Structure 1
C-alpha cells in the first residue's frame, strides 16, 4: 500500500491517495485533486468522504464523473457542504453511491477499514482506521495539536471530545494520524501534548 498526500483548495485541505494492488482510492475530494490524480496517471475506483463540508467535497462530482464511486455516511445535502453559510465556494451537486454501514468494517481495495462516527465538528464525520497498517484518517476530528472547530452548524465540543476519547485515543500510541488539514501526527504524541485532550 502506498499513500500520497495532496493539499489544495481555499483552506488547504488534505486529500489522500491510497494505492493498493487491488484498487486505488481517495480519502476526501478537495479542490484540484481530480487533475492531480489525472496527471499522475492513476485511476480512482472509490472516494471515501470523512465528512461533507465544502472543502472536502469540492471535486466529488468531478471524480464521480470519471467513474469513481462516492462513499459517505449521509446523502449529499447543501446544508452538509456549508454552502448555506454564503462561503465563497460553489460545490457542484453529486450523488453518494454507497453509504457507510456503521458497526462493521469496510472492505475495499484489499483493505479492511474500521469506521467510527465522531460528530462534533460535522454531524456526518467518520474516521477510517487501517489497523493492519497502523494508520487512521481523522478528517477534521483530530489534528496535530488541535481538534476540529465546533462553532459550525451541528457542532458540539462535548460530542467531539467524547468521540475522540472513545474511538481514537484507545488506538495504539504509534498509530499514525493523517488529518484533513495540516501535518500528520500520532495518537501517542496527541495523548501527551494536545492541549484539548487533557
Structure 2
C-alpha cells in the first residue's frame, strides 16, 4: 500500500496523476496536472518543491499556478516547447492546452540523489518515453515516482519524437527493476503497482 504520507490526485485532459508528499508540516509535489494546486489550497498545505518527472504538457499544466504559491521547481532539463508538446496537443489532438514558459529553480541533469528538508531521494534518468524523463525513489517511503516510464501493466509510449522503445526498456531493467520488489510504483497514469509485480507480469518487459 502507498504510504499515508503520499496523496494522489488525477486531473487534466488525459487523466494524469500527480502526487503530494506531506513532510515536516509542508508538502512536496510530484508532477503538476491541471488544478492540483486547488487541492493543495483546499487542504491548506504548504507546498515547497515541485519535482517534474518530465515536461509533457499533461504533467506541467499547473506549474504556473504552483510557482505563484512560491514553490521551487526541479526538473531534468531547461524548459523546452519540444518537450512540452503543447502545440501537438492543440493542433493534432484538439486539447485546449495553454502552458506559459517557466524556469526551473534546480536542474537535475547529472544528479543521482538529493534531499529536501532531510527527506532523501534517488534520481534516475530514464529516457525513452521522453528525453528528459526521470524517476524519484524515496527509500524511507518505499515508493518510486515513475512518471510515464513504468505503469501498471504498461510502459510509456515511445512513438513520439525523441522516444526510443529499446532505450526505455533498458532503463527500466537497469534503473527501476533493481529497486526492492516491495517498492510501490506511483505512475503518471493508472493505478499503483509494485516493482516486484511488474517484473513478473508486465507484458512489455
Instruction: Compute the TM-score of the two structures, normalised by the length of structure 2.
Output: 0.92
Are the counterparts in 2 of residues 140 and 147 from structure 1 also a CA contact under 8 Å?
A: yes
Are the counterparts in 1 of residues 77 and 109 from structure 2 also a CA contact under 8 Å?
A: no
Task: Give SS of 1:38's match.
Answer: helix
Quick one: which of 13, 16, 20 aligns to 2:19? Answer: 16
* Structure-to-structure mapping, 1:165-180, within 5 angstroms: 165-180=173-188
Quick one: which of 147, 161, 166 aligns to 1:158? Answer: 166
Quick one: which of 120, 124, 136 aligns to 2:128? Answer: 120
Quick one: which of 155, 158, 175 aligns to 1:147? Answer: 155
* Structure-to-structure mapping, 1:5-154, within 5 angstroms: 5-21=8-24, 23-87=26-90, 88=95, 89-100=97-108, 102-154=110-162
State the alpha-carbon separation in 1 of the partners of residues 196 and 20 from structure 2: 24
Kindly tell me the number of residue pairs found equivalent between the two proteins.
197
Are the counterparts in 2 of residues 25 and 109 from structure 1 also a CA contact under 8 Å?
A: no
- 1:100-158 Cα offsets, whole Å, 9 max, x none, are 15343111132111000000000100000012221100000000000000011111001
Are the counterparts in 2 of residues 51 and 125 from structure 1 also a CA contact under 8 Å?
A: yes
Where has structure 1 moved over 6 Å in runs of 4 or more? none
Task: Sort the Cα spacing of 1:100 and 1:27 in 2 relative to 1 into closer, same or farther, 3 A.
Answer: same
Structure 2: gaps of 5 or more residues: none
- 1:16-38 Cα offsets, whole Å, 9 max, x none, are 00011164110000001011111
Instruction: Compute the TM-score of the two structures, normalised by the length of structure 1.
Output: 0.96
- Deviation of residue 67 (structure 1)? 0.4
Structure 1: gaps of 5 or more residues: none
Task: Give SS of 1:195's match.
Answer: coil
Give the aligned CA root-mean-square deviation in angstroms. Answer: 1.3
State the alpha-carbon separation in 2 of the partners of residues 62 and 133 from structure 1: 27
Q: Structure 1 residues 99-108 or 10-19, which shifts more?
A: 99-108
State the alpha-carbon separation in 2 of the partners of residues 72 and 63 from structure 1: 14
Are the counterparts in 2 of residues 102 and 116 from structure 1 also a CA contact under 8 Å?
A: no
